[in-house]
Amino acid sequence: MGIGRTTPGGLFLRGLPARILDEEWRATFWGEWGWPHQELAALEIADGRVAEALEALEAGRGRALVGPSSSRRAQALPVSVRRWTAARVARERDGRHARGGKPIEMRALEPALRTALAARPPREIRAFQLAQTLPPEATLFDWFVHDGTLGAITIRRDGLLARSRLVSQERLASLVGSVLFSLRSAAFTPADRRGADALLDAQLEEIASLAFWPLLRPVPGAFALAPAGPLARLPWAAVPLPDGRLLCQSGESVVVPGLRLGLATAPAPARRDPPLVVAVDSGDLAAVERETAAVVAAFPEARVLTGAEATAERFLALAPHADWIHFAGHGGWRADAPEASGLRLHDRWVLAGELADLSLAARWVTLSACHTARALVRPGEEWFGLAREFLLAGGA
């Protein structure tokens, strides 16, 4: 065989070890992060054990959020879980969705699934303890995606309910994509030419009727929303209720990218300083100056960092104790490394990884910059991006 030449068989043999290693990694990765908690939660719901379903679901989420335990890598997944996960990876890769015999297969696997999750415990969430922390009029909605279908668990003080097959993920993704297309189109329409959009209203109502309204028994006075799958991209404030009111008109609502992330708390600093407004205009953001002036006019007590004062050092020093934070400038997103996403200050970028090390007193954080709401959703339904780091640091 000459240099630079090979045979088809040689290519296959040379690529085979890489493929085996890839499948091995995927089986481990998805077995640990992807499906066990979803499958176990579905089994619990089928048996009417909603509290146990919520706890199983959350036992498989948020592993990166709480950090790997020191012994996690030393504990191998059960062989049955690895084999099952490898088969799931291969089936999804090849586009096959076999259904035959699945209930028997899952029932036989249930003990191994419990072992896999129990060996890698994140911070524990107990369903009824969580319910008792809610205000009497509030409902917490925790959506999940299982086997290509959206389901949800609702938590109230007086009990928990579950719906496991609300709408297919494919249909929901199509509807949410249509909503986002309409919103993007509106963004390119001059403000004086914008009006009511009947099509957008109908799209939001259809999504709500499929994924939200079936869970409103009754309509609560306050909403805590932990969306999953395509729902995470929905403009929730504009989602209608069955009586025609919008969610933003119906009472207090909070949207968090995942229940576990919403429950994460950082120790609050002992004092609160004036609000912090950071404006970084590198010469190509014409609206930053006007936006900053409007914010300061409304909140004259705010401390303002602009120009050469808006350095990374000053921002990181003042942010922890600020009553709230408003940033206007450039944001950057790294899909390949979400922890390297960041905010552009005068002298350098402040990266997401740095923000997670802060302990914020801020009651809210506003990021008026491109790409700052983007996030990577990894197996386990955990979100990675700038918003996640601010939440972990204690900002709302």
Say which residue the tokens 């009472």 belong to. Answer: 251
**Using CB atoms within 10 A of its CB, is residue 379 exposed (0-12), middle (13-18) or buried (19+)?**
middle
What are the backbone dihedrals phi and psi of residue 98, each rounded to the nearest 5 degrees, phi first?
-70, 140
> Which residues have CB under 8 Å from 51's CB, separation 6+?
127, 128, 160
Asked if the peptide bond before residue 218 counts as cis, ω within 30 degrees of 0, the response is yes
Whole-number pLDDT of residue 353: 83
Whole-number pLDDT of residue 65: 43
Whole-number pLDDT of residue 72: 40
Which amino acid belongs to residue 374? Answer: R
pLDDT tens, the chain, 396 aa long: 333 334 434 433 444 444 444 455 455 545 555 667 788 888 899 999 999 999 888 877 765 444 333 334 445 666 776 677 667 666 666 654 444 445 446 667 777 767 766 665 556 788 999 999 899 999 999 999 888 899 999 999 999 999 989 999 999 999 999 998 988 887 777 877 777 888 999 999 999 999 999 999 888 999 999 888 889 888 999 999 999 999 989 888 888 877 776 776 666 666 789 999 999 987 778 788 889 999 999 999 999 999 999 999 999 999 999 999 999 999 988 877 778 889 999 999 999 888 877 888 888 899 888 888 777 665 555 667 788 788 777 776
CATH of domain 127-263: 3.30.420
**Dihedral of CA 274/275/281/286: which sign?**
negative
The separation between the first and the last C-alpha atoms of the chain, rounded to the nearest angstrom, is 64
Contact by Cβ (8 Å): 330, 349: no
d(CA 229, CA 235): 14
Whole-number pLDDT of residue 59: 77
Question: Angle between the 50-59 and 36-46 helix axes, to the nearest 10 degrees?
Answer: 180
Q: How many residues does the chain have?
A: 396
Whole-number pLDDT of residue 206: 97
d(CA 278, CA 345): 9
d(CA 6, CA 20): 21
In the chain, CATH 3.30.420 sits at 127-263
